[in-house]
Chains A and B, each alone.
Chain A
Amino acid sequence: MGEKILPEINKVQRHGLSVLFVHWTMALSTMVLIFSGFGQMPMYRRYGLTALPGLGWSADYSVTLIIHYIAAMLFLLAVFYHIVYHLIRKDFDILPRRGDMKESLAIMKSIIFGGKEPPCDKYLAEQRLAYAFIAFLVFAISVTGVIKVMKNLPSFNFSGNLLIWVNDVHTLASMLLVFGILAHLAAFVFRVNRPLIAGMFTGKVDLDYCKHRHCKWYDRLLLKESCKDRE
């Protein structure tokens, strides 16, 4: 299911099923990982979470550890799916480009103070930067997470110093990720960004939205159509 313009329904096919699958698997597993991960630290009992109805189990490490493991499997599955899928297809639209910093400032300025946005490609400059930030954290969390899984096995005994580093990076990256996700969700406070939400569920966005906001992408799609017609 490639990207294409769907003039009969006034939509543009933005994402295929694979992208929807990866995004929502990541979103779900990440939420569960955050909850169960912070549950690995002795805080839910002390700060009274266990007193809330239905959450008595939340301070039981034997429960949260298993939940963390199951969610980590989903998470790793989605991470590898994502990498392999886009490498094979050579879809690199979401990787940051030179000048993204400046461009994203310009976009934010226009969102907040009004004015014309710079012409955008499939992803806005801040989406590409957000992607890089989140991907970096996901990478750090995955590597340290896998080492943490290994150290729990009887066959591995890592040195004390390695354990400190691995734990600190895992925890710190997790905290930054929470921050990143909050920022990610905050983007949808702005009305202009909201058409993308429906896109993340249906794979399609409005044609008008696409023409106006992602005009560079729209031009590429048009070009592709016309080349195909000529074949």
Chain B
Amino acid sequence: MSGLTRRQFLKRTLASGVAGGLVLSGGVRIAHAASATDVMGTLYDLTRCDGCIGQKVPLCVTVCREENKSRFPDPVPAEQIQYYWPNKKKEDWQGKKHLTNRLTPYNWTFVQKAQVEHNGKPLEVFIPRRCMHCDNPPCANLCPFGAQYKSPEGPVLINKDLCLGGAKCRDVCPWGIPARQAGVGLYMKIAPKFLGAGVMYKCDLCYDRVKKGLEPACVVSCPRKAIMFGSKKTLREVAYKRAEEIGGFVYGDKENGGTSTFYVSSVPFEKINAALKEQKSRQQDPAATGFPLMQAGVANFLDSANGMVAGMLAAPVAGALAAGYAAYKTMKEG
């Protein structure tokens, strides 16, 4: 084939490049449609929270359990739940519904108590914990079934009808937040012995209430006004202002690449984390999930993958260019 002019060659190269480029540009338009609503967030002022001293169970926990009662798992009876074949193991919490001192499928928020030393004095810090509703949630992004997503309003949601309970979200969450209940959900309808393991449960920031313009139940319940709810952007500013006022610190802004939950404390979070870690090491199973730490500046699981995106864009371009060169060369020879 020798009748090819340089112009024809260029034209064909361009046309084929454009065809390939469509693959890349097609998705971009879809992306812009999804981000109109204001993202909501919360702020925990740890200088205010006293863990509801005097109450058997902190109010935010009690109210959360009440609010979400109807959405807690409804599994088959314990004796009918199979082990996760071929392992002799299953995560069934229906006998431990009463637990309020950790995260379980039946308890989506709890209050940690950390003994720290601050300015030479011992101090007790109370830290209500739950899902942080991260800005770029690895839990939702990496769900192989698309059973999780970040709503335009901010809350990160698990689709209980689609979740198979593989707990990948818990593995990639820096705090191991989602909790698994066996014997419930889609997998029970397929091959419950061999595939799937249940459904993951966690706080959804009272999404139904938020959509109606109401505040999450815990926010309303707090007698000490320790939890604020509002636009994430505003709360972020409030958090830093408050931290400045008290010479304190903010958690949740940098962590996991940004979240919509901010904690303000007068004590450095490194100290709080150290205290929590120490507590955890004394637990029966120190590796167990459900008792999150507070690693300052913890990285997002997706950082290293996302760092490769330039390469992902360059690869097709390199392929097209190399092909153009090779085609031109072989055609000239032919």
The complex places the Cα of A124 from the Cα of B248 at a distance, in Å, of 74
| CB of A67, distance to nearest CB on chain B (Å) | 10
A sample of 7 cross-chain residue pairs with beta-carbon separation below 8 angstroms, ordered by A number, consists of A48-B86, A79-B20, A80-B320, A84-B327, A88-B327, A143-B27, A157-B35
- Residues on B with C-beta less than 8 A from A2 are 1, 330, 333-334
Known interface pairs A18-B326, A87-B16, A146-B27. Does A73 touch B305 (Cβ–Cβ under 8 Å)?
no
Whether a CB of chain A sits under 8 angstroms from the CB of B246 is no
Main secondary structure of the interface of B (DSSP, over half): helix
Whether a CB of chain B sits under 8 angstroms from the CB of A196 is no
- Residues on A with C-beta less than 8 A from B1 are 2, 89
- Residues on A with C-beta less than 8 A from B148 are 160
Which of A42, A48, A154 contacts B166, CB < 8 Å? A42
Contact A85 B146 (CB under 8 A): no
Interface residues of A in 100-152 (CB under 8 A from B): 139, 142-143, 146-147, 149-152
Counting contact residues on chain B (CB < 8 A from A), the size range is 35 or more
Whether a CB of chain A sits under 8 angstroms from the CB of B47 is no
| CB of B211, distance to nearest CB on chain A (Å) | 14
The complex places the Cα of A123 from the Cα of B34 at a distance, in Å, of 46
Stretch in contact with the other chain, from B234-242, B273-281, B311-319: B311-319
Contact A152 B305 (CB under 8 A): yes
| CB of B146, distance to nearest CB on chain A (Å) | 4
The complex places the Cα of A141 from the Cα of B164 at a distance, in Å, of 23
Interface residues of A in 56-108 (CB under 8 A from B): 61-62, 65-66, 69-70, 72-74, 76-85, 87-89
| CB of B37, distance to nearest CB on chain A (Å) | 11
The complex places the Cα of A72 from the Cα of B309 at a distance, in Å, of 11
Interface residues of B in 84-110 (CB under 8 A from A): 84, 86-87
Contact B9 A80 (CB under 8 A): no
Main secondary structure of the interface of A (DSSP, over half): helix
Whether a CB of chain A sits under 8 angstroms from the CB of B286 is no
**B89: nearest chain-A partner, CB-CB:** A46
Whether a CB of chain A sits under 8 angstroms from the CB of B77 is no
Contact A143 B12 (CB under 8 A): no
- Residues on B with C-beta less than 8 A from A195 are none
- Residues on B with C-beta less than 8 A from A79 are 20, 316, 319
| CB of B133, distance to nearest CB on chain A (Å) | 12
**A88: nearest chain-B partner, CB-CB:** B327
The complex places the Cα of A226 from the Cα of B258 at a distance, in Å, of 70
Whether a CB of chain A sits under 8 angstroms from the CB of B284 is no
Known interface pairs A88-B16, A158-B34. Does A147 touch B333 (Cβ–Cβ under 8 Å)?
no
Interface residues of B in 121-140 (CB under 8 A from A): 135-136, 140
